[in-house]
Structure 1
């Protein structure tokens, strides 16, 4: 059983539509795929409606969080999307995306980059605009060779020359809100240092005490030593360990199913959730 619990569609910053994503997941030999667009559940209905037979969809979202000035991402699964407080917080984060992106375009232009807001809008399409769309613009303009190269202190990384702060979840609050909505949470790529500073192991322990369910170890931005360190941390804190592709379509080099989650871990996440259930494909 092959399970990928971290993917993105055009509902946020991926390049596959939700329908294309589930079809591509089935073609990649996956049995289970989670759709975890940034701070939105907008793609879930289209993905569920296009599910091929034999593929199960896990509804989720990747929540943008910040603790003591350090950005981190929290994967939330199987929560009630209509839970009022969690929905309100997601809306606050989403509403801040356009002003932030416009301000970052301004900073990039001050740095001599001939980027335009119209270019970013074209790249984002119907998606929730974010830094990956600006990174794609930098690639188009020949400023950086690929999207990953845009996420450095020179450009778009947290605290980088063109970065602009935005409203984000407090991580402990996010864990508690997701739990209140019947969902489960997994800390995404906790040692992805190239993206910016990482939270300490002590802070991960705080999240575990607040109800965090798991931590993502197998990820393209973790080397073998990072994965071993995450597993050791998880064992000490009683956290589940997941693996996922963080697929963004053609925007990143990772492939669907490049890293996967153990079926027993997946079963435990589903067992803990009460806000929603996985959606089986009927073909």
Structure 2
């Protein structure tokens, strides 16, 4: 079995529609996928509908929530969630409001730096209610301010540049995300943690109810993977993996990275699959 449990559509910051993603997944012989858009589940219904054409392809409902704990932004994946669960709907509305406020502040700062883009321009240019820095970067390219996504982040949009900042008020709490995912019938997973973030936050996140760690991804060195897998298994947590595919790199096709059933069997069992 070939699975990719971390994919983004144009409902957040990916390039392709949910239906296109399902088509590419089937064409490239994936057996299981999860659509995990940032702070939105708007694409799940379309993905589920598209999957009806491909009986051999299993879709797991998912979302990637932007959260904050102590001094860091942490991403929490939710799998097997009930999209209609009221507390989840309310949480996503809160993340939308926080994203909107954060983006307006970023754009105001860019105005000071000579990049004159309005929120309304960014909003009208994309399919999503889950707007973020990637959308700003793409519009900056279109308007000629930068030539590449990397340049946009290196010069303006990376928090490391100190041109823009964020605070805990820009995000929901990690605890709230984990607890809401559980209440919505889902399984919470710490998305693509660095070793530093893993070591610092594993214990408190597990105390909040975190169920597992996204260990397997194409860019992770094998020595890091071994360390994470050893600790996670020792603590009885679940392991997952995915490409974090957005569709922009032409050399990285959907299906070129995958995890097999042996790597994620306990996770699949927990989902009832």
TM-score (norm 1): 0.83
Pairing 1:44–2:44 present = yes
**Whole-Å Cα distance in 2 between the matches of residues 46 and 174 of structure 1?**
24
**Whole-Å Cα distance in 2 between the matches of residues 93 and 251 of structure 1?**
28
**Whole-Å Cα distance in 1 between the matches of residues 19 and 209 of structure 2?**
32
Determine which structure has greater relative contact order: mean sequence separation of CA pairs < 8 Å that are 6+ residues apart, divided by chain length: 1
| Corresponding position of 1:171 | 174
Tell me which of 119, 135, 138 is aligned to 1:136.
138
**Whole-Å Cα distance in 1 between the matches of residues 153 and 226 of structure 2?**
25
SS in structure 2 of the partner of residue 217 of structure 1: strand
C-alpha spacing 1:148/1:268, structure 2 compared with 1 (3 Å): farther
Number of corresponding residues: 269
| Corresponding position of 2:163 | 161
Greater shift in the superposed pair: 28-37 or 122-131: 122-131
TM-aligned CA deviation for residue 15 of structure 1: 1.4
| Corresponding position of 1:281 | none
TM-aligned CA deviation for residue 128 of structure 1: 1.9
C-alpha spacing 1:273/1:226, structure 2 compared with 1 (3 Å): same
**Whole-Å Cα distance in 2 between the matches of residues 12 and 236 of structure 1?**
35
Tell me which of 169, 185, 191 is aligned to 1:188.
191
**Whole-Å Cα distance in 2 between the matches of residues 220 and 124 of structure 1?**
28
TM-score (norm 2): 0.86
C-alpha spacing 1:261/1:205, structure 2 compared with 1 (3 Å): farther
Indicate the structure with greater helix content: 2
C-alpha spacing 1:157/1:239, structure 2 compared with 1 (3 Å): farther
Q: Which runs of 5+ in 2 are unaligned?
A: none
- Equivalence map 1:53-92=2 (5 Å): 53=54, 54-92=56-94
C-alpha spacing 1:149/1:72, structure 2 compared with 1 (3 Å): farther
Deviations 1:88-132 (A, max 9, x none): 122101122223212211111212334444542344234421121
Deviations 1:167-217 (A, max 9, x none): 42221332222122211111111018xxxxx53514212222333222112
Tell me which of 212, 218, 224 is aligned to 2:216.
218
| Corresponding position of 1:11 | 11
Retained in 1: the 8 A contact 2:11–2:127?
no
Retained in 1: the 8 A contact 2:99–2:132?
yes
TM-aligned CA deviation for residue 3 of structure 1: 0.1
Q: Which runs of 5+ in 1 are unaligned?
A: 193-197, 279-283
4+ residue stretches of structure 1 with deviation over 6 A?
A: none
C-alpha spacing 1:109/1:221, structure 2 compared with 1 (3 Å): farther
TM-aligned CA deviation for residue 78 of structure 1: 0.6
TM-aligned CA deviation for residue 64 of structure 1: 0.8
C-alpha spacing 1:87/1:127, structure 2 compared with 1 (3 Å): closer
User: Considering only aligned residues, what root-mean-square deviation do their CA atoms show, in Å?
Assistant: 2.6
SS in structure 2 of the partner of residue 96 of structure 1: helix
**Whole-Å Cα distance in 2 between the matches of residues 46 and 65 of structure 1?**
26
